[in-house]
Structure 1
């Protein structure tokens, strides 16, 4: 088995939603807590995965769902970091 395929899938799914973790709280000020952000992310990702399932343009894959959520949470952690918050002030 070619090891580069699972690594590309892992890294791609992890980093594709990292910007969402930064941009979502930037544009929607009410998303300032991890719990609210996580619920918003899960709803959005469920909607995206459902569209993939209905349109048959992809598959409803729990691995993608988990990795995309984790990537968004990493982005949110970057957004909440002291360095970013200091740059914004």
Structure 2
């Protein structure tokens, strides 16, 4: 690949990653449509693995498809860009274990920020789902990178 093409891809990836971080921050901390309001509320947290996943699955009929999808699939989907774009920005991130660790670490940072700011809640299930999302994003990057290498050499 030409150096000029690599630079363009790096620049575009940087812009996309920054945009992704801004959008993620907005939806996780400021979007009123997701009940993200600064009010006097208690600290909310769940430290029991699979508790919220089980609750959403058990009460899926009562909660409705949108609520279940937003919570379960949304936590996975919102971290897929992290795992897909980061390896483009940094060659050291082109490793399954590195991406898994960074996805977990970034998710932990987000969950702690939600706990401290009392916007949203700290949920160990979200940590797991977000990490899975980062790994899936990395797998998509890996597949696309292999296809690109086969096609363009």
Which TM-score applies when normalising by structure 2?
0.53
1:1-89 aligned within 5 A: 1-4=62-65, 5-81=67-143, 82-86=146-150
Larger RCO of the pair (alpha carbons < 8 Å, separation 6+): 1
Which TM-score applies when normalising by structure 1?
0.87
CA gap 1:88/1:9 in 2 versus in 1, 3 angstroms: farther
Uncovered stretches (5+) of structure 2, i.e. residues with no partner: 1-61
C-alpha root-mean-square deviation of aligned residues, in Å? 1.8
Aligned-partner SS, 2:87: helix
Matched residues in 1 for 2:76 and 2:141: separation?
16
Uncovered stretches (5+) of structure 1, i.e. residues with no partner: none
CA gap 1:13/1:85 in 2 versus in 1, 3 angstroms: farther
How far did 1:8 drift? 2.4
How far did 1:2 drift? 2.9
The count of corresponding residues between Structure 1 and Structure 2 is 89
Larger radius of gyration: 2
